[in-house]
Structure formats: C-alpha cells, structure tokens
Amino acid sequence: MSSSEIDVPTQIPESCILGAMMPREDPRDVLVIKKGLPDMTLAELPAGSVVGTSSVRRIAQLSRHYPHLIAKDVRGNIDTRLAKLDAEDGPFTCLILAAAGLLRTGQGARITHYLDSKSGKMLHAVGQGGLGIEIRADDEHMKQMVEKIGDTKTTFACLAERNLLRTLEGGCSAPLGVETEWVRDAEGREKLRLRSIVASVDGKEAVEMEKDEEVKSGEEAEAFGKQVADELVVLGAGRILEAIQQKKKAWGS
C-alpha cells in the first residue's frame, strides 16, 4: 500500500512496516499570495494581514516569527482553499500550503515564495512531500522488491523524522517542525542533518535544535530521531506539548 507519508500514523500496526520511500517531492511549505496583490514575503506583509492555514505547526511558527500577522483557519482541498483566498470579499491575504500538494496537482505557478529555515523561518511537517510504501512485516520478498525502487536517503530522512515525532508522542497535530538534508563534515563524511522546533501555539515558548549524524541504516535513522527527541524534551519540549494537551482537554470538557 502506498500513501502520502504525512498521512501515515507514526504508530502503524505491528504486522506492517514502512518498506521504502519513493524520491521525495519538495517538502517545504510555500507562501501563496492572493491574486492581484504584489509579491511580498511573510516579513513584508502589512500588520494585520490574514494568513490562511489549518496547521497548528504553522500557526505556532507564524506566531513566533511574525507576530504582526493573523492566522485564520481555512479548510478544504487545494482548489477550495485557493478559491477562498482569491474571493474578492474573502478575508485572506495569503495561504501557507505544502509545496508538494501544489506541484502534484499542477498548480506550482501559484507559489509566491518557498519557506524553509533560511527563507521564511518555517520548518515543514514530518514526512511532508514523501510517498511511502507500507508492506507486511513478514513479507521478505516484497521487502526486497520495494527496496530496489525506493530512495534510500529519503527513507532514512523520513524514518528519523517519524521517530522524532513518535518519541515526543505528539501526533500529526503537534506543533513540531522539521527539516532534513544531507551534508558533509570537514572530513568529507556524509551525514543527515535534522533541524527541529517545538513551539507553543502562541509562539512565546520554543525549543529548537540542529544536529548532524552519520546514518547508514533504517535502524540508525530511527535511533537518530529518538536521540533528537530526547534532547528536545530535556530542553523543555515535553513541557510545551503537555501544556498543549492540557488545553485540548479543557476545551473538550
């Protein structure tokens, strides 16, 4: 079974495993400006501009880095969201969406700016842009087949991201942003770089980390993700997530 990696639960049935990942689509978030408005970055948007997003992760990072902006919930598929953005009487100045969703639906021309740690100060969701192949854990023949067509670097990166989230027990709605890339150290050794942020929804509290590690197997990738999660907890990420869970319980009562 293949599925968008962002939609795969961090805890999958014990009888199944993530067999492989296909080459990753661009994992970044993007800024999409309302038709008719000039090209602007998040930092350049006028105070009070309304940013459409339904993601707690994006809201938390927006609140932290761009407190002059207002986040407003927007729902629906990509076409519906773009229609809401472009409506003359609509409240939205812009949307933040996943680049992969726009590119896969042939609407890449609507992208105004790509957002990442260097440009836009936004980290993406765990597994974003990835397409995973889930197989039975005991099917060695299928495992060998999918490994031949899978992309090793994408698989390792997504395994690290997923185990980071799993260890934090945050779930897909947690305000956790990540960014992975392959880099070489001073000795020329290739390493996986994992950036991460856990932020409160109001942006007032945040724990951030960047760490490099040699990763040569799926097990090492998952161990790396857990290591980063454990260090984030020591720095205060657990307290931030617990406070969010307590608020959710209060709202539900």
Instruction: Give catalytic residues, as residue numbers.
Output: 7
Give residue for tokens 């459409």: 52
| Distance of alpha carbon 132 from alpha carbon 237, whole angstroms | 28
Residue written as token pair 């969201």: 81
Strand ranges inside the chain, DSSP E: 2-4, 16-21, 29-33, 50-52, 70-72, 94-98, 113-115, 131-136, 176-184, 190-199, 206-213
Report the distance separating Cα 206 and Cα 113, nearest Å.
Answer: 24
Rounded Cα distance, 60 and 6, in Å = 18
- Which helix (H) or strand (E) segment holds residue 157: the answer is helix 152-168
Tokens of 244: 């969010």
Helices (H) and strands (E) in the chain, counts: 7, 11
* Number of residues that this document lists for the chain: 253
Calculated CA dihedral for residues 13, 18, 24, 25, nearest 10 degrees: -30
